[in-house]
Every structure is written in structure tokens, then in C-alpha cells.
A and B are shown apart, each in its own frame.
Chain A
Amino acid sequence: MGYERQKDFGTPEAKSAEQVTLTIDGREVTVPAGTSVMRAAAEIGGDIPKLCATDNVKAYGSCRLCLVEIEGARGTPASCTTPVAPGMKVKTQTERLAKLRKGVMELYISDHPLDCLTCSANNDCELQDQAANVGLRDVRYGYAGDNHLGLETDVSNPYFDFDASKCIVCSRCVRACAEVQGTFALTIDGRGFASMVSAGQEVDDFLSSECVSCGACVQACPTATLQEKSVKAIGKPERAVVTTCAYCGVGCTFRAEMRGEQVVRMVPWKDGKANHGHSCVKGRFAWGYANHADRITKPMIRESIDQPWREVSWEEAIGFTATRIKAIKAEHGARALGGITSSRCTNEDVFLVQKLIRAGFGANNVDTCARVCHSPTGFGLSTTFGTSAGTQDFDSVEDSDVILVIGANPTDGHPVFASRMKKRLRAGAKLIVIDPRRIDLVRSPHIEAAHHLPLQPGTNVAVLTSMAHVIVTEGLADEAFVKERCDWDEFQDWARFVSDERHSPEFLESVTRVPAKELRAAARLFATGGNGAIYYGLGVTEHSQGSSTVMAIANLAMATGNIGRRGVGVNPLRGQNNVQGACDMGSFPHELSGYRHISDGATRKLFEDDWGVTLDAEPGLRIPNMLDAAVDGSFKAIYIQGEDILQSDPDTRHVSAGLAAMDLVIVHDLFLNETAHYAHVFLPGSTFLEKSGTFTNAERRIQPVRRVMDPANGYEDWEVTQLLANAIGCDWNYTHASEILDEIARLTPTFAGVSWDRVDSGEPLQWPVNEKAPKGSPIMHVEGFVRGKGKFVVTEYIPTDERTGPRFPLLLTTGRILSQYNVGAQTRRTANVVWHEEDLLEMHPTDAENRGLKDGDWTKLASRAGETTLRLQVTDRVAPGVVYTTFHHPLTQANVITTDNSDWATNCPEYKVTAVQVTASNGPSEWQEEYEALSTRARRIEGAAEMEPAE
């Protein structure tokens, strides 16, 4: 499409089954009851002038520009605040209205600079458009009176400016911050002529205020008051391409607004089914990493990891790699080879990498980063429901009455969905938070959790079982639902188990540290409060009983009848943009795409016939097993696409030892990441802006990724994989990602009805998309569970082996922060660092005082796995005995501390529980100093000027 703003209907869509017919300017229109006259007019192509109205926020009725005449009504009502009525006759363009509107516009323009030709919003400004719309030719009042034209611009935010001299105080930004984002950082300060948009308190600017830089205010602004710095620097976009964000699992869609091959800005697409026109600081603004100076665009090789890198041609790099792969296979066998797919890459990229490993290398040693995040979700939900995916679409939350958030921090990890959730909470839904840390949702503007259960890390199963105890023993279970939908005998076994006194909140209080009274109240609320929805994250899965916790969550949902309709369900919040897709595409070592085990002969034959190879019938190694086998000497080569396991995976020393033991490490990435310290081959990757394909978000929604510029490295990622495959003897001839999607659909029952044409058309597609569900499946288990009857599973609480003691008396738990994403490889290479320059260690004041530590002190954080240093933040967000940090910065090396404990069913690492000690420190640990030296050494490039460490 060329560049034009998305159509703005002025007021939000009304949701009503009742239809109303009226006449506007002689044309009949039928709309849902509750629709505004303004929107009804827009639906039939009308364009009532407006300034304070926009369809992302409720009507406000302040600008008085949208006045209309309604037959039989007195005066000239504002069309934005006037709902349609049957038989209503509206006139939007009359002489009387024109005079009124022109008068209103004159007042606005009398206090607005007339610098349109040099303004960054020239020709993309609603105020300018409306001035033209009303035919403004003169301002009778002149410009000499009191005005705001000399006000200074607030440039504190790294991504947008606030030029108060251009503000018309329409309040759209304030309302977007409140209604859409839910942060309430903005307000109108002062009264009358002194009214001004203000961020935070008087002393604040945008950066120091509570603003989370989501961009909703910038999007809402009808002038150049709030505008992206990139537009000021580059100019007005000339075209827009709708594509899908490459950050978290929410899967927001954006218009990439371009000039030539340069992104001017990313603007959330109002028709996006996951985000409905909203965004967060990452997707909206933090895309600058794509052109960061650290980006490597030429292939590089080296004989050994102590040598500097040597830039080579693609032919030489691929030839070097293929020769080594073939030699290792000849000497050690196919099972010495493997690879890791990326949840940041497209379904098509992922599918080809696992195909390369299975069909090209000849082994099933393929795994993906879901291993270290949501693999327990797969096991737990598959066991209980029969399929592993989240049960709802995001819109479902609009019908929830009680929302239980456990082990997730949506405002930071999944901010756009968190805004939807907060909107529902402000409308009256109740909130239960189960988290060791007081996350923002517990108490923030206009939001307060009914119950916060600050459990001891590692006791999720005990807490959920005691909630089940309350529900069953107090007769609150929905037995009618259970009898109809679940295995009744298994329910009774489970009910007997949870009813045992040893699972009561009172008995378990000493273990969970959750006050029994509070836990009972939370359980009662969840069971009796109406539609109950559970949202969870890695605070559930990354434990030694991660899979058991997922099953306990499923048990709770089934026992209370909260499955199979809108407003309820079990919802894993996926960390990365394509975690769901990477799992769907056969990234796990034991299964092919569509969750079919590699040992199944008929499934293997399907792929063998299609691919013309013989597949190994045995499961391959998982990521931690690959590293163990490497240390053991039986695993020799790895191809890693778009993952940085040295920083993201637990027990960094062990990961280092595993990588160092391999004969060939191939890193395919945008940057020389931490893992590349141990690599022999670096294959430059392409960003999401440089390739075509699909991502599948946390709602199972398959969305298009559209190439908006040529890859800086010359190839899309799947093309690089194809080059390598063909160099080792495969004969692949894909010419576009759509051909890979065709192959996925041909070989994968859940994708049977999916094609590039359908994805490209914007049709909503949530898998399964097949003959039974040709339009996809927004909500699962509606008629019955995929497995037939829902299965209750007895989940015995088994404490982790990771215990506190005299040496390590505190428990460390980890998480992430709004401005950063995963290991920070992308976000640290953007201005987002202003919000998070380093990882900090949060500690309760009591623990800090006992150790003589104060805010800002350098501290040594030590576990049985290793030690690091970082600065302290004293806060009562964490309970006494618990400390918390993030893992976004490589020099912090938080994963030097985490251990090799893992989930019993899936080997998902136990990131969330590590026994530690914290003491005062004078500086970096020995490991950190050695690591910094290694980083400098490992990133040398032959012939290049001395390279600064990229990280």
C-alpha cells in the first residue's frame, strides 16, 4: 500500500446484537446500537470534522468540531457523544455547521504556530487536515495575545518529543495513556487557558515520569506535539507494509512505515487481532538494532576459537562448514551432529533447520529455546487436556470475572496484553496474583489485586494443591461440568488426594509462607467469582516441578468448570514471538511437526517419502543433553540459529565447557553474540524486516512476516539454511518462504488448511486450521477436550533439591523488565538502555540491613554453581529471604549462578530457584574479569581495526 493513515472512525466500535438504522445526509446506514453518529457517518464514507475524537478511546466531546444537526433535536449536538437512534435523520454538512466549525477552528489556530511548511507533521497532521476541512482562511483574533507558542520542547524520551507549543489540549494523549495503556502517567495540569498536558508531577519530564513509552499518546496526537524523533529526522513515510512484531509472544501487528528501504516508524495496526492498535516500547520503538553498528553482515570462519575471525565469501564459509560437517559425520556418526532452532525466527526458518538436522545431518538432535521456557506447558497441558496450546484468544479476557496470574509479570513481559487485562480489571474483574515478588499488577493506578499470595519460590505445586483442597473440601467444585466433560473416576481420585489434611493451606503454610486465610479467600474467589481465567508464565514452568504445576493449573481450571468458553481457560504467556510456532514445526528432538513421535513408523514414512531420506527412529538430544554429550566427547558439532545459549541457558560454566568441547560450532545470528565466543563459523542472519514468512503467537494465531527491505547480509535466514543443506548433499530448491509453508501444510495436520495466500490476505487463522475447523480455532475444548475426557492428574508436591542452608541462605529468582527482551541482544542495541543500564539485585530491607548493605552497593552473588557481582536495589517488592534479578546483560552473567536442576518431565531448567548468598563486594568476580577478557579476544576480526566488545 502507499502511505496513508489508517482510517479513524472517531469512536470505538460498539458491540451489540441490536441493529439501528438511521439516515445521514440522505443516506441510510445500519449499525450496532450504541454506535456514535460520528462512527456511523464514517462507516458510509462520511468525514465529520473532529479533533478530540479517535477510535482508540472513548468519546470526549470537548473540541466541538464534530457538531451535527439532528432532525427534532435541539441545538447542534457533538456527533462523537451522540449515540444513533432508530429513524434518526442527521445532517453533517450545513451552512450553520460550517460557520460553527470554522469559529472553533479559528480559536484553535489562534494559539498554534503557523509553521506548517517546516513542521515535521506537514501533510500528516489532523489539525492541518481539519483546518482545510472546515475551509479556514483567516483567524480574526490575530496572534498577538497571550499564547503558548514559546513553550519549550521536552526531548527527554529517546524516541519521541513533546512540543508543548503545538499542543491543542485535546486530551487524546491523556486518554490513550489511561484507557488504552492503563498507566495514567499523563494528566491535564492547570485550568482554563493554563491547561497543559503534563507527564507525572511538576518536576517530571516524560523520561522521569511513570510513562512506559508505549507510544499510545504519540499515536493519538492529532498534531506534531507528540511525535517520533525518527519522523523529524527522516521525514514523512511514503509507504506502509503490515507485518508482525518480532519481540514477545503477544504477536502485535505493525505498519512498517517506510521511506525507500528505511523504516521511518513502526505504528501498531488497528486491525491487528492480537493488539488492536496498541504497542509497547519494544515493538513500537526498539527496532534500531536492525541497523546497529555491531551487526555482522559478512560470513566469517576460523580454524579454532583462539584465532581471530576471518571475513570470507558466502561460498567459502558454506564450503568450509560443509567440509567439516561431512568429516565429523564420517568419523563420529550422524548422532554427533545437531542444532538449535530459534523462536525468534519464522516458522519457515525453523522448519528448514529441523529438516536440515534430521534429513541432512541424519540425526534427531534438534531442540529449541522452548526447552528452557515452556516445554512443561506442552507436557502438562497435553497430559490433562490432550493438546498443549493455550486455550483462549487474547480477546477472551474481556469476559473474565476473576483473573489469576501466576508466575508471570504481564506488564513487563507481555505489556500489550497486560493493558487489555488491566482494562478488564478496571471494569470490575477481580485479580489474584501468585508470585514471590510484588509485581506491578498487584497495585498500580486503578488496579489492586484482591489477593496477592507471595509464595516461597519452588512451592507452586503446594499452593495450587492447597487451593484445590479449599475448593473441594468446601464443596465449591463444579461437579456438573466435571461429570460432563472430565473423567469422573479420575476426578474422585484427585479430589480425595487434595482433600487430605496435609494439603490444607494451614498445614502447608510453613512451606509456602502464604497465610492460610488469604489462600482460602483466593481459592473461594476463583471458584465462585464467575468466569475464571488463569494466565501463567515462566514462574510456573522453570522449576523442577514445572510440568506438575501446569497440570495443577489445569486441574484447577477443570474442577471449577473454567474451560471451553470465552472468559476462562488456561493461558501460557509465551516469552518469544514464535515459541508456539517453533514447537509446532518439529523443533523437539523426539517429534516431527504436528506433535508426532519420531518412533511412529507411519509418520516417519510420510516425511521420508516427501524428503527422500531415511530418518533415525530414535529421539535425539535435548539442549542440556547435547552439552553433557559434548563434554563426554560424543557430540561434536552444532548449528545454532538465532539463539544465544551461553547467555540464556543455566549454569554458564557448563554451557561454556560443552561448547568448548565441540569441533564445530556454527552461529547463525545478527550479532557476534556470547555463544559466538566458542564458534568456528559465523553466518550472518537477517532481521524480521528483511524476510518473509509466518510467526505463530501465544494464541496459536498464524500471522504474516513481510519483507520490507533487502537483507543486509544478502540472504533471508531460510536461504542460508538451504545453502548449507545443499552443500552437504541435499537438493533443495525453495525460491520463497511460501513454498516452505506449503510443505509444512502438506506434512502437518494442524496446518493442513494454511497457505501463504490465506495468511497474506489477513484472514484470522488460529490453528488447528483443517477440514474440521476451516476458519481456525480461537477457543479450544469448546465441545469437549481434544483428548476426549479431561484428565485430573494427582500432583504430589516434591520439594526441589535446591535448598537453602548456612552457606546459601537466600533464594534467588529471576525475571525480566519491560524495556529489555530476553538476553538483550536486540534491546541493548537500542535506546531502551536508558531504562535499564544494568541488571540489579533486588533485596528486602531486612536482609540488606543484616548484611550491612545499602541501595546501590556492589554485591557478590554466589551459589554452588558460581558467583558474580552486581549492584543492589533495596526494595520490599521481594519478601525477606528472597532476592531477584534480571538476565539482560552479559557482563552480569546471572546464569553463572543458576544450576543444572531441571523439570522432571522436560529438563526445562530450574531458573526460578537458586540458593544463594549475598555479601559486600569491591568489584567484578574473577569469572567476570576472565569473561570480559575472553569477549574481547573472541571478537577480534582479522584486518579490522581493533574491535570494541560488541556487548
Chain B
Amino acid sequence: MDIAKLRRMADQIGNNYAAIGHDNAVLATADHIRKFWDPRMKAAIFADDRAALGDIAGRAIDVLASGITPTPQSGGTDFNSVNEVGHNDAG
């Protein structure tokens, strides 16, 4: 995968969550990547140099790489349970 593009995507997510506060933004970015990125994209960003990422995105990758499953920080990543109606058609 084009690592420059993945870095840019991760930083875009981090920067747009920055307004909810640093720690929440880290968790939100981690949750976002977990929910929407394909395994090969995750593997590529996990293997990449964290220094190439902004602070929020870099820490988010650390969170995910350590095996933590962050809870949703945004309704956009909070999906319906099996019998639920509503929520998300984000892409």
C-alpha cells in the first residue's frame, strides 16, 4: 500500500478529531481506523515509522498495535447491534 497516502489519511482523521481533546482524539482515531481500514492497510501503518505521523495519529496507532479496542468516541463509528435500527451508513 502507498504508505504516504495512508499516513495522510491517518493524520487527516487525527486532525479532524483534535477538537474533542487530545486523549479522546487518540481513541477516536484508533477506533476509526479499526472500524474502517482493511487488514493490509492496518498492517502497513502499524509497520511504519510513528515519527512519520502526527502526534494524535501516531498515538492512535500505538493504541491499536498494543491490542486495545477503543470504545466509539463518535456516533459515526457506533453501529447498530444485531437487532437494532438506526445509526450508520458511513463509508
Q: Which residues of A approach B to under 8 Å, CB–CB?
A: 335, 364-365, 367, 370-371, 375-380, 382-384, 386-389, 497, 544-545, 547-548, 583-584, 588-591, 594-597, 599-600, 602-603, 606, 618-622, 625, 628-629, 631-632, 634, 749-750, 768, 770, 772, 786-787, 791, 793-796, 798, 801, 900, 902, 904-908
Contact = CB atoms under 8 A, between A and B. Distances in A.
A619 B38 contact: yes
A382 B78 CA distance: 8
Contacts of A595: 79-80, 86-89
A625 B1 CA distance: 8
A602 B90 contact: no
Contacts of B15: 798, 904
A618 B87 contact: no
Nearest to B17: A904
A388 B41 contact: no
Given A335-B38, A634-B40, A388 B13 contact: no
Interface in B13-50: 13, 15-16, 18-20, 32, 35-41
Given A599-B35, A908-B91, 14 more contacts: A376-B90, A382-B89, A547-B90, A595-B87, A595-B89, A603-B80, A621-B41, A622-B36, A628-B5, A629-B1, A787-B78, A796-B19, A798-B15, A906-B91
B85 A750 contact: yes
B13 A378 contact: no
B55 to A, nearest CB: 15
Nearest to B38: A621
A371 to B, nearest CB: 5
Contacts of A902: 9
A382 B87 contact: yes
A907 B9 contact: yes
B4 to A, nearest CB: 11
Given A497-B19, A905-B76, A749 B91 contact: no
Interface in B57-91: 74-76, 78-91
Nearest to B79: A597
B76 A379 contact: yes
Interface size class of B (residues with CB under 8 A): 35 or more
B81 A603 contact: yes
Given A383-B74, A795-B19, A904-B13, A600 B89 contact: no
A887 B88 CA distance: 30
Contact of B19 (A386, A387, A594, A794): A794
B39 A379 contact: no
The 3 closest A-B pairs by CB, nearest first: A375-B91, A379-B90, A378-B89
Nearest to B33: A619
Contacts of B79: 591, 595-597, 600
A589 B37 CA distance: 9
A632 B79 CA distance: 31
Interface of B: 1-2, 5, 8-9, 12-13, 15-16, 18-20, 32, 35-41, 74-76, 78-91
Among A382, A621, A770, A793, max chain B CB count under 10 A is at: A382
Contact of B85 (A375, A620, A770): A770
Contacts of A370: 89, 91
26 contacts: A375-B91, A379-B90, A379-B91, A382-B88, A383-B75, A387-B85, A387-B87, A588-B89, A588-B90, A594-B80, A596-B82, A599-B35, A621-B38, A621-B41, A622-B36, A622-B91, A625-B1, A628-B1, A629-B1, A631-B2, A634-B40, A750-B85, A787-B78, A795-B19, A796-B19, A900-B5
B5 A905 contact: no
Contact of B88 (A388, A545, A603, A622): A388
Nearest to B12: A904
Contacts of B9: 902, 904, 907
Contacts of A628: 1-2, 5
B90 A378 contact: yes
Contacts of A618: 38-39
Among B12, B15, B76, max chain A CB count under 10 A is at: B76
A872 B35 CA distance: 45
B83 A787 contact: no
Contacts of B86: 386-387, 595, 768, 786-787
Given A382-B90, A387-B86, A634-B40, A749 B19 contact: no
A378 B78 CA distance: 12
Contacts of B78: 382, 787
A791 B73 CA distance: 12
Contact of B80 (A625, A749, A796, A907): A749
A584 B19 contact: no
B89 A602 contact: no
Contacts of B91: 367, 370-371, 375, 378-379, 588, 622, 906-908
Contacts of A378: 76, 88-91
B60 to A, nearest CB: 13
B2 A544 contact: no
A629 B91 CA distance: 18
B57 to A, nearest CB: 11
